Structure 1
Amino acid sequence: MKLFQDKVAIVTGGASGIGAAIVRDLADEGATVIIADFDEDGAIRLADELGRDRAAPFGVDVSDPQAVEATVAFAVAQFGGLHLAVNNAGIGAPATKLADIAIDDWHRVLGVDLHSVFYGLKYEIPAIIASGGGAIVNMASILGAVGWAGSAAYVTAKHALLGMTKTAALDYADQNIRINAVGPGFVTTPALEKTMTDDERSGLAALHALGRLARPEEVAALTSFLLSDRASFMTGTYYPVDGGYLAR
């Protein structure tokens, strides 16, 4: 039997990069996956690739709580419940020293990278309880554990996300919900390839003990494990998948 047979999952930011790799993993293991993304066209393409019996696209701005609530309501209405969720959507920002960050830019990054996770948990948790329990993974970063010059908003969001994850896990452990966070190192994604030169990517790779960037599938593998019953005694914890970055 497949790991997620007859389970319903939501993956935010699921149309590309790490999110798409997670969607593919879950669908391959039997889940019906809502691909929730601001890029609705990308979500539609991935759903068509996987088959509409395994995936459904849903356009969402995760910084809007009503839109996040609507995503969960869609999952329940269309597929009868919700068992799994990955709060993966996130954005970065140009490198800027803290005092030079524009107020609007600060709120934009915190809105997508932190507040959206709260909105997700707020609406996912009651739906998962109503379905008999399940698991949630919040996508953090190695920058949830260390700083990075010029990225105060992003680093703040990821540090706060870890505290939220731990507290939520304690709040709902007695209602059969496990909640963990995954902390990728730097990952080869379309966004990274668009915004960095080859030399810049090589410099990032050298910061990892393994001497390379992660592949989205490597982050997806850990995420899927934490969502599965194989991780049944794991909750409230942060799990880096970082090629040795934090060991230095």
Structure 2
Amino acid sequence: MRLQDKVAIITGAGSGQGKASALMFAQQGATVIVAEMNEQAGKETVKQITDAGQHAFFYQTDISDEENVRQLVETVHEKYKKIDILFNNAGIGFSARSKYKMASVLETPLEDWNSILGINLNGVYLMSKYVLPIMIKQNKGSIIHNASLNGIIGVSGADAYTASKGGVVALTRVMAADYGKHNIRINCICPGAINTPMISEVLDDPEIAKNYETGPLGRVGEPEEIASAALFLASDEASYITGLIMPVDGGWSAV
């Protein structure tokens, strides 16, 4: 029970890495706030947790909407009187290609560029902006950002996505420097190719899937492997770790 009696907000917890993290955090004793845009998906995550006799509740959340974020954080704080963990997991990627163009700088429309950064980067900023004052008063807390391998190495073809995730990496470092004095740890996970709905379309193409299998471990990752990294960073086992940029990528960033 590594998170016994902790209160954790996980954004984008309706599917993929966020859902795996929500289930794992709850199994480890946390009360999990499933902050998710998709109502059906979010409520399904909560049902799985509560059916197992654990604790969770759903709050429909658009992380790019400041008022929505403010209300979420206020509601959680009023209900539980504390927030121990924030996992800024929510974001958009390749699965949003029908809505936003994933392309080079030259080919990306400004509207799509702004929308992608508005969710992937601004969402992390807004959630942190409203949770941090509570953690400062508590003089403790753990914030984990979910970035991407794209944020630390050059990956062609999705430049707005890459810029947003690079911004999350840089934001992690400055937040760690700023808030360590309040006993708040800020860390960042950079997943490689993970078998989630975000890239399922891509993995359906055998040629592309083969490319993903060329890293040192020779396979794509599973959502639970990201959840395990997040669990460690959220727990007291990582009490002397802050400002960490942690690739969980099967070794892609090492070669």
Report TM bin, short chain.
Answer: over 0.9
Residue in structure 2 matching 1:193, options 193, 200, 206 = 200
Match of 1:22 in 2: 21
Contact persistence 1:96–1:150 (CA under 8 A) = yes
Q: How many residue pairs end up in the alignment?
A: 247
Task: Name the residue aligned to 1:114.
Answer: 121
* Structure 2 counterparts to residues 226-241 of structure 1, below 5 A: 226-241=233-248
Q: C-alpha separation between the residues in 1 aligned to 2:38 and 2:67? A: 18
- Using the alignment, how far apart are the partners of 1:74 and 1:40 within structure 2? 17
Instruction: Give 2:74's aligned residue.
Output: 73
Match of 1:51 in 2: 50
Which residue is equivalent to 2:32? 33
Q: Which runs of 5 or more residues in structure 1 are unaligned?
A: none
- Which is further off, 78-87 or 186-195? 186-195
Determine which of 214, 219, 222 is the counterpart of 1:215: 222
Instruction: Describe the SS at the equivalent of 2:106.
Output: helix
Percent identity over the alignment? 36
**For the Cα contact (< 8 Å) 2:102–2:108, is it kept in 1?**
no
CA contact (8 A) 2:17 2:223 kept: yes
Larger mean CA deviation between 75-84 and 17-26 belongs to 75-84
> Match for 1:131 among 128, 132, 138?
138
**What CA RMSD, in Å, does the superposition of the two structures yield over aligned residues?**
1.5
Mean Cα displacement is larger for which, 196-205 or 108-117? 196-205
Q: Give the partner amino acid of 1:71.
A: L
Q: 1 CA distance for matches of 2:15 and 2:174?
A: 29
- Secondary structure of 1:243's counterpart equals coil
Partner deviation per Cα, 1:87-141 (whole Å, 9 max, x = no partner): 0111124432211211110011001110111111111111222334110100011
Q: Secondary structure at the match of 2:86?
A: strand
TM-score (ref. length: structure 2): 0.92
* Structure 2 contact 4–30 (Cα < 8 Å) conserved: yes
SS in 2 for 1:98: coil
Residues in 2 aligned to 1:229 and 1:222: alpha-carbon distance in whole angstroms: 13
Residue 137 of structure 1: SS of its match in structure 2?
A: strand
1:141 paired with 2:148, answer yes
Q: Detail structure 1 runs of 4+ shifted over 3 Å in the superposition.
A: none
